[in-house]
């Protein structure tokens, strides 16, 4: 979803059910080894 849309990371965070952007970023990095922003690049 992050690579296939121009939606902001905050918007994607909400769509995935996360209320806290910081927690989303931390959970994403633990799961994939990259921050959401770095993954999008």
pLDDT in tens, 10-30: 999 999 999 999 999 999 999
pTM assigned to the model:
0.77
pLDDT given for residue 26 in this prediction? 94
What pLDDT, on the 0 to 100 scale, is given for residue 4?
A: 85
Can you give the pLDDT at residue 27? 94
Tokens matching residue 14? 């909400």
Taking 90 as the threshold, does the pLDDT of residue 1 lie above it? no
On whether the CB atoms of residues 16 and 10 are closer than 8 A, the answer is no
Asked if pLDDT for residue 40 goes beyond 80, the answer is yes
Cα distances (angstroms) measured from residue 38 to each of 3, 17: 10, 21
Give the model's pLDDT for residue 23. Answer: 94
């Amino acid at each position: 979803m992050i690579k296939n849309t121009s939606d902001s990371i905050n918007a994607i965070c909400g769509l995935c059910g996360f209320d806290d952007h910081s927690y989303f970023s931390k959970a994403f990095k633990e799961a994939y080894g990259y921050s959401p922003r770095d993954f999008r690049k």
